[in-house]
Amino acid sequence: MQIDKNQLLRFTTAGSVDDGKSTLIGRLLYDSKSIFEDQIEAVENSSKKKGHEGVDLAMFTDGLKDEREQGITIDVAYRYFTTPKRKFIIADTPGHIQYTRNMVTGASTANAAIILIDARHGVIEQTKRHTFIASLLQIPHIIVCINKMDLIDYSEEVYNDIVSQFEEFSSKLLIKDVRYIPISALLGDNVVNRSENMKWYQGSPLLYELETLHISSDINKIDARFPVQTVLRPQREGFIDFRGYAGRVASGIFRPKDEVTILPSGFTSTIKGIHTEDGDLEEAFAPMSVAITLEDDIDISRGDMIVKTNNQPEPKQDIDAMLCWLNTDEAKPRAKYTIMHTSNEQRAMIKEVVYKIDINTYTRNTEDKSLKMNDISRVKLRTTKPLMTDDYRENRNTGSIILIDESTNETVAAGMIL
């Protein structure tokens, strides 16, 4: 394994037990030998208790007590596996409509989404919902797995039919990269190994796709943005005048001698050095955590953003966003919330709900102005001070926000800036 080259790929799987989602994850873990013998033993024991014969692959993904008792997934669970080519993080989310918020959560950091379709049923409402969320959250790659091919005699015709159904409805959405794979998660066809039963399929098995997806271009390398998390002032020998701005590069590339502007103050300076404990760097790009020092003494604190002078984000106090409501408490009209955007925190008011989206039909509802759990709506926000924003479509890190209810401290909404 080439550790110095291997990348990390995060993907999300949305779907219900009926689609065979848990079976697919179980299959990936099992066939990539990521499941340990004592885990297999534990699942065998539980399978027996429930009266199943053999190992139920789906049980490898069961988490909390309530879920195992009810046989459902109620939250995002993270799974890990590694192959000689990559390390994978799966955000395993339930697919039912009442779990939209979990799907959105899992999708927010994903490089790729696996959308499962039961070959017997073709594209259904749930497929449209998952695809919409993947597109809304701008997951760069979508892999549509047409599952249970074994139950339709591995029919190429049925497969082609489903592919064109998918092409048709998804043409309305903004999707950069989509690919299709006919699989049987239960029997293993085209999951890790190429299927012997579908010679007509010219593409690669799922795992190969996951191992080779080109993801290094998914991060924005153009717009240099560095949100300051905290200031490092060691004030000890050797570092008496050291004043480092600690943060993680949100996008773009920074180098010493770059001319930079500090927002919101607008002061300009030049990068003196980029520092880590392992030594100074010639350049830093997303998502590297570093400390930056500047040539000039400027008052900078958490929430400020260092950007290149020739490429600046837009300071906005009136923000148009797609908002997903995450809380059981409905939004109160014109209520004020704490808004978090990169390391910056302000207060915000929801000034207007423009429309709500029906995520099954992709239609807009301009009548219903309420914001309830799992609703996805276009809103207008007003903040107390300007936020340094980019469009979410261009930049996931500087285009995303969350809202926090000040009376409960809970995260109540997630937004994508338009």
Q: Which of 230, 317, 363, 370 binds other proteins (CB under 8 A)?
A: 230
Closest CA to 418 of 322, 301, 299, 280: 322
Site for other proteins in 80-99 (CB under 8 A): 80, 82, 86-87, 89
Closest CA to 413 of 398, 402, 399, 400: 402
Site for other proteins in 35-54 (CB under 8 A): 36-39, 42, 46
HSE-CB at 318 with a 13 A cutoff on CA atoms is 2
What's the min distance (Å) between Cβ of 249 and other proteins?
Answer: 9
Q: Which of 51, 202, 236, 257 binds other proteins (CB under 8 A)?
A: 236
Cβ distance to other proteins smaller for residue 288 or 349: 288
Strand-pairing partners, residue 321, are 379, 417
Strand-pairing partners, residue 112, are 11, 141
What's the min distance (Å) between Cβ of 235 and other proteins?
Answer: 9
What's the min distance (Å) between Cβ of 132 and other proteins?
Answer: 17
Q: Which of 155, 204, 229, 360 binds other proteins (CB under 8 A)?
A: 229
Mention every residue, 6+ apart, whose C-beta is less than 8 A from residue 67.
73, 74
Q: Which of 19, 56, 62, 375 binds other proteins (CB under 8 A)?
A: 62
- Cα 93 to Cα 221: distance, rounded to the nearest angstrom: 29
Site for other proteins in 391-410 (CB under 8 A): 396-397, 400-402, 404, 409-410
What's the min distance (Å) between Cβ of 342 and other proteins?
Answer: 8
Cβ distance to other proteins smaller for residue 301 or 363: 301
Specify the stretch interacting with other proteins by CB under 8 A; choose among 160-168, 265-273, 337-345, 372-380. Answer: 337-345
Mention every residue, 6+ apart, whose C-beta is less than 8 A from residue 120.
148, 151, 152
375 Rama class: left (phi>0) / alpha (psi -120 to 50) / beta: beta
Looking at residue 283, what DSSP letter applies? -
Q: Which of 153, 280, 283, 314 binds other proteins (CB under 8 A)?
A: 283
What's the min distance (Å) between Cβ of 96 and other proteins?
Answer: 15
Q: Which of 51, 53, 65, 174 binds other proteins (CB under 8 A)?
A: 65
| Contact (CB, 8 A) for 9 and 89 | yes
Angle, helices 125-136/100-107, rounded to nearest 10 degrees = 40
Q: Which helix (H) or strand (E) holds 388?
A: strand 376-389
Total number of residues that touch other proteins (CB under 8 A): 79
- Determine the residue type at 267: F
Does residue 411 interact with other proteins by CB under 8 A? yes
Q: Which of 100, 102, 190, 251 binds other proteins (CB under 8 A)?
A: 102
| Contact (CB, 8 A) for 29 and 132 | no
Q: Which of 7, 193, 268, 384 binds other proteins (CB under 8 A)?
A: 7
Specify the stretch interacting with other proteins by CB under 8 A; choose among 5-13, 173-181, 188-196, 354-362. Answer: 5-13
Q: Look at strands 314-325 and 411-417 and give their pairing.
A: antiparallel
- Cα 204 to Cα 281: distance, rounded to the nearest angstrom: 39
Does residue 105 interact with other proteins by CB under 8 A? yes
Specify the stretch interacting with other proteins by CB under 8 A; choose among 71-79, 167-175, 179-187, 353-361. Answer: 71-79
The dihedral over CA atoms of 275, 280, 284, 289, expressed in degrees to the nearest 10, equals: -40
Q: Which of 28, 76, 306, 371 binds other proteins (CB under 8 A)?
A: 76
Q: Which of 24, 144, 162, 414 binds other proteins (CB under 8 A)?
A: 414
Does residue 257 interact with other proteins by CB under 8 A? no
Looking at residue 55, what DSSP letter applies? -
Could you tell me the two tokens for 134? 């993947």
Site for other proteins in 287-326 (CB under 8 A): 287-289, 291, 302, 326
| Sign of the Cα pseudo-torsion (302, 307, 313, 316, in order) | positive
Cβ distance to other proteins smaller for residue 82 or 197: 82
Specify the stretch interacting with other proteins by CB under 8 A; choose among 141-149, 151-159, 276-284, 382-390. Answer: 276-284
Site for other proteins in 138-167 (CB under 8 A): none
Angle, helices 156-170/125-136, rounded to nearest 10 degrees = 50
- Cα 349 to Cα 347: distance, rounded to the nearest angstrom: 7
Site for other proteins in 163-192 (CB under 8 A): none
What's the min distance (Å) between Cβ of 92 and other proteins?
Answer: 8
